[in-house]
Structure 1
Amino acid sequence: MTTPIQLSTAAELVRAFVATGDTLGDRADLARFLRERRLATDGAIPITLADFDEAITLRDGLHAQLRRAAGHPADTEAIAKAQRVLDGLRVTVRIEPTEGTVSALAPAVVDEVRRGLARIAGAWATVLATGEWRKIRV
């Protein structure tokens, strides 16, 4: 019998995003995910097809990296594409993180979708820094 691993808030966010799989099928699904995880406000979220494609690319690359950590063959193309998405997200470091944040990194963008993706990027940075990303199972 194995003891279940308690994931941090940051790791749980990454796991939940990566685990969306087929449930993240369109822009409405992305808006729902962002709202449910409090990564976006409750109002209307204008999501372009480019926004949606970026989210899927990031999700697929994180998934590929987590699978690589679990000993599966690496999908280096998916990882490289996700890296390009991460390179395009603007984040800033908070000197004093607010209550309930998953990372000291915070979005430095105005666009609601990119802000949500930047929060996921911040969570990814946190789990990389702690090494916890190796414990996330997908």
Structure 2
Amino acid sequence: MATPETLSAAATLIRDFVTTGDSLAGRADLARFLRDHRLIPESAIPITLADFDEALALRDGLRAQLRAAAGESADAEAIARAQRVLDGLRVTVRINPGEAALSPLAPAVVDEVRRGLARIAGAWAAVLATGEWRRISVD
């Protein structure tokens, strides 16, 4: 029997994010997810409804893209909404490869919530670059 391949840290983050389902029902849940995955500091940060809506749009679009890759029908509108979120996130490239645990991309924004979303965007870029996104199961 073949042993399943272990996912990278970036792919694990993407899988965890897109499979949050009902556990990402409010702003407190988003804060908990971002903290549990060390995407934001432990200190309290305000999360606006707009932040929460962006996180849901990103999650739903990434999940739709992963489902499309698995042969399911694509939700083009969810993917388009996620792309708009990604277009609004600023990232920069890390010069020190040792700091690139999740991705060679780093957040270039000040707001902590958007930094967390930018880290998810960086992880998505990493799994796209390696082709690993095709192995992430969302079910």
TM-score by length of 2: 0.96
- Name whichever of 101-110 and 1-10 sits farther off: 1-10
Distance 1:4 1:78 in 2: 30
Give the structure 2 partner of residue 45 of structure 1.
45
Please list every run of 5 or more consecutive structure 2 residues that lacks an aligned counterpart in the other structure: none
Assess if the C-alpha contact under 8 Å between 2:65 and 2:79 holds in 1.
yes
Question: SS of the residue aligned with 1:92?
Answer: strand
1:76 has 2:85 as partner: no
Give the structure 1 partner of residue 12 of structure 2.
12
Distance 2:135 2:48 in 1: 33
Give the structure 1 partner of residue 65 of structure 2.
65
| Superposition pairs of residues 1-138 of structure 1, within 5 angstroms | 1-99=1-99, 101-138=101-138
Runs of 4+ in 1 over 2 A off after TM superposition: 97-101
TM-score by length of 1: 0.96
Distance 1:123 1:116 in 2: 11
- Name whichever of 124-133 and 90-99 sits farther off: 90-99
Distance 1:99 1:113 in 2: 20
Q: CA RMSD in A?
A: 1.1
Identity of aligned residues (%): 75
Cα shift at 1:5: 2.3
Please list every run of 5 or more consecutive structure 1 residues that lacks an aligned counterpart in the other structure: none
Assess if the C-alpha contact under 8 Å between 2:94 and 2:100 holds in 1.
no
